Structure formats: C-alpha cells, structure tokens
Chain A
C-alpha cells in the first residue's frame, strides 16, 4: 500500500469520525427538540423530525466509512473481530474498544429505528434510550483514540458538542419540557 493511500485513508478515517460526532450531537439535540413538540421558525415540527432522522442516518453512514477506512489502516491493525467485540484490539485496546461498543449500539439503535413500524413504539422507545449511552461512549472514544484529541480545535469542538447535549438533556428533564397543555398519565386501575 502506497504511503499516499495510507495517509489518505487515515485522513478519511479521522475526518469521518469527527463529522459523525458532530452529526450525532445534532441528532440528539434535534431529537429532544422534536419530542418536545415545539415549533422552530422556518422548519416546522415535521422538519425537526426529518432533520433528526437525516443527521442520525448520515452519521451512521459516516461511521461505516470511518470503520471501513481504518480497517485498511496499517497502524490501527483492526481485525474483523474488533468490529464486533470490544477491547481485543492490539492498538489502544481501551479507546478502540469504546469505538467498537459505539458501533454495536449504533447498529442496534439504527436497525430498531428503521423497523419501528413493525416492532412497535414500546420496543422502539426503550432501545432509543440507548442513544444516551451511545453518545457519551462515542465522545470518550473520540477523545481517547483520536489523533486530533490534543489539538485546540478538536477540544473546542468536543466542548461545544458536550455543552449542547448537556443543555438539551437538562431541558428534557425540566417539568415544563413536555408542557403542551396536558399531562399524560394513564390511569392504571380503571
């Protein structure tokens, strides 16, 4: 493998990883916004849901490219088994393992989301909660194994991502979040 190709793959791997992180961050914020039922000027409520979906699916696509490019990377020395089972890699096993964990969760969440019409809302909702685990693991993976982790621009980017998710989740937990005029509390003993 030529040095040019190797460095191109390395750049592709890094780039797709960083953009995927940004997209997943957007997907979480948009998902929380969509669930709130609030309207954003110029987008409409359905637009937020569509964007949430587009960001998440594009992010998933980029993760495929990210993993694919690193599979051929001579430094990372990834084996196929490392794509499924975490913490077995020879190169930075902990930080790469977190990436594998992210990938596993991402596959489950994506497949369940695409099949939610068949699986029903209960399964969908429970599995979708896994994104709140998936995203922090992905961030840790990026900070730990990313080549750019030490650079200022990446630290700034990561801080912005973490900050937005903390703000969004914080809002999600405020009682007025679901405040569209009614409380949904089905009686359990009719």
Chain B
C-alpha cells in the first residue's frame, strides 16, 4: 500500500462545497453545463442535470473556480454555492 504524505490527511475537509440550482429561475441557458462538464450534464429540454444524481451536487476542490465562474456567469442568477457539513 502506498504511503501517503502526512499533509494529505490534514487536507481532508470537514465541509463540502455544493452547488444549488434555483429551478424557478433556471432557463436552461446551459453556460453552467459548459463550465462544469464533469459535474453537470444536460437533459432532453436543455436544463442542467447533476451527474452525481445529487439534488445539490458536491463541487470538488479542483472545480471550485469553474463553479464560481458558473455562478457569476449564469444570466438568470439561478446558481449559488454553499458549504455544508459533509
């Protein structure tokens, strides 16, 4: 078994960042799907689908910048990010 460096354990996060979609606002523009291709797919009607099947999908650390970009970029302000206990 490979030995993980010590700092790896301190990087374990107690909170996870999640993406919330306000479906009453979402118009299916699709810019979030382009920015977060690993997290979001698109349904038959052009609306985003979390690939994980989660209601508010977890945003991995490597995708946080892209998620912030998506939140800022959404033309109808349907997205927000929040931290939740994991």
Q: Which of A's residues lie within 8 Å of B, judged by CB?
A: 34-35, 37, 39, 44-46, 49-50, 116-117, 120-121, 124, 180-182, 184
Contact = CB atoms under 8 A, between A and B. Distances in A.
B27 interface: yes
Contact of B46 (A34, A116, A120, A180): A180
Chain B residues touching A, majority SS:
loop
A34 B34 CA distance: 14
A46 B46 contact: no
Contacts of B32: 46
> What is the predominant secondary structure among interface residues of chain A facing chain B?
helix
Contacts of B73: 46, 49-50
5 contacts: A37-B28, A37-B75, A46-B32, A46-B70, A49-B31
A46 B31 contact: yes
Given A44-B31, A180-B46, A184-B27, 18 more contacts: A35-B75, A37-B29, A37-B46, A44-B34, A46-B34, A46-B69, A46-B70, A46-B73, A49-B73, A50-B73, A117-B77, A120-B77, A124-B77, A181-B45, A181-B46, A182-B28, A182-B45, A182-B46
B30 interface: yes
Nearest to B25: A121
B35 to A, nearest CB: 5
Interface string B28-67: 1111101100000000011000000000000000000000
B30 A37 contact: yes
